[in-house]
Each structure stands twice: as structure tokens, then as C-alpha cells.
Amino acid sequence: MDTAVPAAVPERRPDGRVPLAPERIDLAEVPYAEALERMAEWVRLRREGRIADRLVLLTHPPVITYGARTPAHELPAPGPVPLVEVDRGGQATYHGPGQLIGYLIANIRERGPADIVRWMENGLVDAVARLGLTAVRRDTPRGAQSLVGVWTPEPEHRKLASIGMRIRGGVTSHGFALNVTTDLAPFRQFTACGLPDTAMTSLEEMAAALGRPAPEDARVRDAVAGALGAVS
């Protein structure tokens, strides 16, 4: 059970916004259903001002999740990997071993207008750079399927990290999924992120292309936490 503490609010910057500096919480593998229950409790406590903003880093056993607007034809046929509808933005994606999940529970009302999704994209791009690799965010053309996430540079534009968030009552939940040493085969069983022509990749694949080993889990967690300003 989480211990409720008063929520701390950092000092405002000259532009009037408060920088996001969530508390870093590291967990190991957590079943998806359990994670959803715990996240709902964190959101409730954050709305009540009883905990500070937090970035929870963890992994999940294999599961495919999708938002309410995901078309049925984009989902996989029934199989061994559980399929779960969730209350976040974005389309279908896969979670499993070798993937770093980050759930952001933050009260963005205290920070004025801000693009929290772009903040997360830019932070993950920075984290990848700290690992000695190169990634980019992409703007979505008008009328096109969302390109939110983190990608390899042109010309391949393989997708490295997916982002799907929910904001209700001024508090965020859900977050990102960064492929580290993920088995990418499950992504080919459905339309990942609503993008049928998109290939997924991992930090392991990117590093291998440079003749380097995949970065270790602890190093990836530190890079992501540092880039997103999370503090222990």
C-alpha cells in the first residue's frame, strides 16, 4: 500500500509554468490487471493531493492492449496472449518482457497549458541519446493516423516507443512503452498503433546495427528517469 504524503510542487519558472519533476518509482514485472488497479489508486491519491507526481517504471507479462476506438479488424485473432481494452488514448499495442513501461501520474493543472505528450516524446528522445543512439519524434500530418511516439530517423522510421495517455480531472495516467530487448514478433500479429505499414524496433536492434550490445535494463531506466526529470 502506498503511503500518502503531501504533494510537493516545484517552484515556477520565469514563464509561469512549474517544471515536471515526478518521483521515480521502480517496480519489477507486474501483471497488467494489477497495474491498472494500482494506477487507479495512484490517480485518486494524486487528485486528492495526498501524493506527489510520480513516474512508475515497470514491465508486464505478455499482453495486447487497445483503446475503445481501435477498429476490430486491427486486433489479432484469439491466441495465447491476453487482449485487454483500456481507457487510454492510442490504438493497439503489445507489452511483454524486455520492454520498459512508464506510467506517469501527474497533476498538470498545476503547470498551466502544456503538451504533456510532446514532453514525454522529447524526454524519451533525450533518453535514447543518453544511451548513445538516435531517435526522433514526428509531427502527424493533418487527417492522418497519429504518429505520436518515438521513432528511428529517416528513411526507415521504425517505431521504438509507443505513447498512450489518459487525462481526467487534470491528472494523467498510463504513459509509454519503450522496446529494449522486446520480442517484436507479437507486433506482427495485429495492426500496431493503427499503422499497418509501420515496423517496430528495439534498442537491442538499434545497438546491434552499430555492432554494440543492448543497453542493460538498469541503464535504460536511469536514462529515461534522468531525461524526464524523475527523482528518487
Judge if pTM exceeds 0.85: yes
Instruction: Detail the residues annotated as belonging to a binding site.
Output: 88-95, 162-164, 175-177
Dmax (CA) of the chain = 53
Task: Mark whether 50 is an active-site residue.
Answer: no
**How far is the CA of 158 from the CAs of 35, 120, 179, 203, 214, in angstroms?**
28, 18, 11, 11, 17
Give the model confidence (pLDDT) of 50-93 as tens digits: 999 999 999 999 999 998 889 999 999 999 999 999 988 889 99
Give the model confidence (pLDDT) of 164-192 as tens digits: 999 999 999 999 999 999 999 999 999 99
Give the model confidence (pLDDT) of 147-156 as tens digits: 999 999 999 9
Instruction: Decide yes or no: CATH 3.50.50.60 for domain 23-227.
Output: no
* Given 51, 56, 193, 200, the catalytic residue: 193
The gap between the terminal CA atoms of the chain, to the nearest Å, is: 18
Instruction: Detail the residues annotated as belonging to a binding site for substrate.
Output: 88-95, 162-164, 175-177
- Domains in the chain: boundaries: 23-227
* pLDDT value at residue 6: 47
Average pLDDT over residues 24-33: 98
* pLDDT value at residue 16: 41
